Amino acid sequence: MFLILLFTVVCLVLVHDFIRKCSYRWKKLSEYPGDTPLPLVGNALQLGFDADDSSHKLMQIWAKHGKVNFRMSVGFEDWIMLSNVDDVATILNHTSELSKPLERNVAMKPFFGNSVSSSEGDRWRTTRKLMTPSFHFNTLEKRVDDVNKYCVQLFNQLDNFEGREVEIYKYLRPYMFDILCDSLMGVKSNLMDNLDDPYLEASRKVIGIVTENYFSYWRNIRPIFVLTPIYRDMMDTIKTIRNTSSDIINRRREKINQIKEDLINNNLEIDFDVSDHIEKKLSDNGCLLDKFLLGTNSSGEPIPDEMIEDEVTLVSYTGHYTTTMTMAHTLYCLAKYPEIQKKVIEEQRKILNNDLSKNPTNHDLNQMKYLEAVIKESIRVVPTVTKIGRQLHEDLHFKDGRVAPAGTSVIVFYEAMYADPKIFPEPEKYNPERFLGTMHTFAFVPFSAGPRNCIGFRYAWVVMKSTLSHILRRYEILPGNPGSEPQFAYRIITESKNGVHLKLKKRNP
């Protein structure tokens, strides 16, 4: 009986595979180079069972097929991995193909819910509209002021490591979270004074878990996954970061209610609209959380608490984590290439009139073209985000006439793009000057582009440039001790498994 059942299952799998490979979708996918997928599992075995090694395996497949766009199948999902800049422009500029890949959303939604990163339609449009004012040009000077203020606290900690090795993630992460909470959430988090805060430990685990969820396909078999210790650890991690978000929301709501109460008590003799007055009073501070607490959805109803919590959890996490990784990896690159670091300091001296202790303005930051090129080259060498994608609802036509069929996940493969000699000549060299010239508009889009770009990219650039300007003017950055070389894991966000170890040497004023 068992053999009959096994034979039947095998026949059904083979029939399904035959039908699939006779379909229109497979015909279009076959126009791209790629290895023949096995029945049921596709090319999943080529990725192996170590999620941290998956990006490395994908790079090997890309090289094997001539360093061009290629296809692969993972289970029943089909991917087209893009490294051609014209094709990247086609998908990112598309006005209607805005859905994120299914497997990516499955991995992220347990942590960040139906936030702006994953949502679609009215929910996505409402959220983008509410968030946009907090990242407007006119808020940037205030963001620079926030960095100037918090760098004092950062240096109080880093000065203790002068001449010694420091693991820079440990201090940049709470620093960045404190800035973000103050400037975008309107509350003080004070994580720099509490390095053992549960949020820091929980948030450290998130990217590893999300990456495992993305590439470890057995985790999609929920009845099995929920029985494992890994699931319990994931749920504990989610609870911690969600509790932090709830605390932030409650504290800001209390502040707003106190302001309302003070306004009423101070204007008892005046007939005025409290809600209108409070909104005007708070509108100029660029506080993102206020937009959600005081805003309404497309039906004119208050924003639900669940929606606010999703967005606060996402912004608090991704906002502090991606910028921390980018800044730490840039410092690591500058420690490796002291001649580049010297050029950065020369630019700083020129812009700030040799006053290395000066607090820069946003105008000063805009002039720091070489520092910006260094950050970009560091992202190219160590990509902060390794890939982004879209789930196609309709056929997508590329410039060369080929079609990505509906239902396919089209992945912008940043790692491959940044290592492609056709886009970046001599990609093995660390050369910031390449970003001072002209290049294809879509050769370097680390914050995505088009309708679904990262809404906070201006905020990120201001914070990264101003922070690095402060750090580099205060310290000469040197490599860490022998054996402390970063062990980069190219996860959903790239991070070093053993941190980034550097030495700091105070500069002469």
Annotated binding site: 454
> What span, in angstroms and rounded, lies between the C-alpha atoms of 314 and 318?
6
List beta partners, residue 80: 71, 410
Our measurement of the distance from residue 422's CA atom to the centroid of its chain's CA atoms, rounded to an integer in Å, reads 26
Instruction: For residue 290, give the nearest of 174, 139, 450 by alpha carbon.
Output: 139
Any idea of the CA torsion for 392, 397, 402, 403, to the nearest 10 degrees?
A: 30
Structure tokens at 270: 């005046």
Instruction: For residue 309, give the nearest of 253, 227, 229, 383 by alpha carbon.
Output: 253
Question: Burial, 53: exposed, middle or buried (Cβ in 10 Å; 0-12, 13-18, 19+)?
Answer: middle
- 247 phi/psi in degrees, rounded to 5: -65, -40
Q: How many CA atoms lie within 13 Å of 247's alpha carbon, on the beta-carbon side?
A: 11
Write down the residue that tokens 């094709």 correspond to.
87
> What span, in angstroms and rounded, lies between the C-alpha atoms of 172 and 152?
13
| Known binding-site residue numbers for heme | 454
The helix/strand/coil state of 304 is coil
Structure tokens at 413: 């493969």
> What span, in angstroms and rounded, lies between the C-alpha atoms of 67 and 55?
14
> What span, in angstroms and rounded, lies between the C-alpha atoms of 379 and 372?
11
Yes or no: say if 217 and 43 are a contact pair by the CB < 8 Å rule: no
> What span, in angstroms and rounded, lies between the C-alpha atoms of 85 and 65?
17
Instruction: For residue 208, give the nearest of 111, 333, 86, 342 by alpha carbon.
Output: 111
CA distances to 313, 330, 509 from 109, rounded to whole Å, are: 11, 30, 48
Helix axes 457-474, 338-351, angle to 10 degrees: 100
CA distances to 298, 404, 480 from 295, rounded to whole Å, are: 10, 39, 48
Yes or no: say if 501 and 481 are a contact pair by the CB < 8 Å rule: yes
Q: H or E element: which one contains 219? A: none
Structure tokens at 167: 């693991």
Instruction: For residue 32, give the nearest of 396, 442, 380 by alpha carbon.
Output: 396
State the pairing for strand pair 387-391/409-413. Answer: antiparallel
